Amino acid sequence: MTAVSPYFDDLRCQPEVIHPPQNEDCTVIGEHMNEPAQHTAKPNVTVSSSVRELLECPVCLNAMYPPIHQCSNGHTLCSGCKPRVHNRCPTCRHELGNIRCLALEKVAASLELPCKYQSFGCIGIIPYYSKLKHESQCSFRPYNCPYAGSECTVIGDIPYIVAHLKDDHKVDMHMGSTFNHRYVKSNPHEVENATWMLTVFSCFGQYFCLHFEAFQLGMAPVYIAFLRFMGDDESAKNFSYSLEVGGNGRKLIWQGVPRSIRDSHRKVRDSFDGLIIQRNMALFFSGGDRKELKLRVTGRIWKEQ
């Protein structure tokens, strides 16, 4: 593929984080997947690396989808990058105009490719124009690290993420479906948008993340505790959990379904899907002179029948 002018270097998007392994010359595919649990045989489909290069945008390096644009010299460009290059071909600098590369669009329509999460276990063979949608929903796509105390970019399957949390983030690991944690903060009036604690529980052959943090809700600082399931959304619905906090003869109880770590920590927190404790109530539960936060959060996880 022709090299891109340095003028366009700053327009490049980051390439995909994960790519399925590919042979240098071609990929030979001999299986077809209609449903996750059903596989039917079909003739081998060979997609040469040169065809893949033709379908690669020279600016963002991503696969191109209709409308695919071309200049008068035949150089192609994806529709997303066309306005970013000010209507100039990134290869020859000629004006792009509004020429569609219909031939290349038809070639793409005839292709079937492996899912990019092939290395994670997906054996699906996907029509070219359905590939993006499939990959956005693929059950084999990796998980993001659920640790919210930093902008961690690590991704992987659940065993890898669990090991990463333990080894790199030094997260506490517990066995069992019940928990009893005490959270102490010397100055509860200092509220920052940061997670105080993340604990991982192993039970029922699965892993769960317990979050507890302080954040600002409007002008009022509040505390929230919630549980996330380390797996997909459908599997998360098989479990429930309860959280309880109290003191001075009073208590608050929350019961809910753990959210999958497919949902970001911020998304769960901002939807208030957990045990929310106003600061005045938290200080009341803490007792004493109300100058130190001492909260005991207990709870349990169970599997629905």
**How far apart, in whole angstroms, are the C-alpha atoms of residue 188 and residue 293?**
6
Torsion, Cα 225 231 233 238, to 10 degrees, reads -80
Q: How confident is the model at residue 187 (pLDDT cuts 50, 70, 90)?
A: low
Q: Which two tokens stand for residue 299?
A: 């709870």
Q: What is the pLDDT of residue 95?
A: 84
Structure confidence by residue, pLDDT tens digits, 197-252? 789 999 999 999 999 888 877 777 788 999 999 999 999 999 999 999 988 788 99
Percent of the chain whose predicted confidence (pLDDT) is above 70: 78
pTM, to two decimals = 0.69
Residue 5 has pLDDT above 50, yes or no: no
Q: What is the pLDDT of residue 288?
A: 63
| Strands (DSSP E) found in 115-249 | 125-127, 143-144, 155-156, 172-175, 178-185, 194-203, 206-217, 220-229, 239-247
Q: How confident is the model at residue 293 (pLDDT cuts 50, 70, 90)?
A: confident
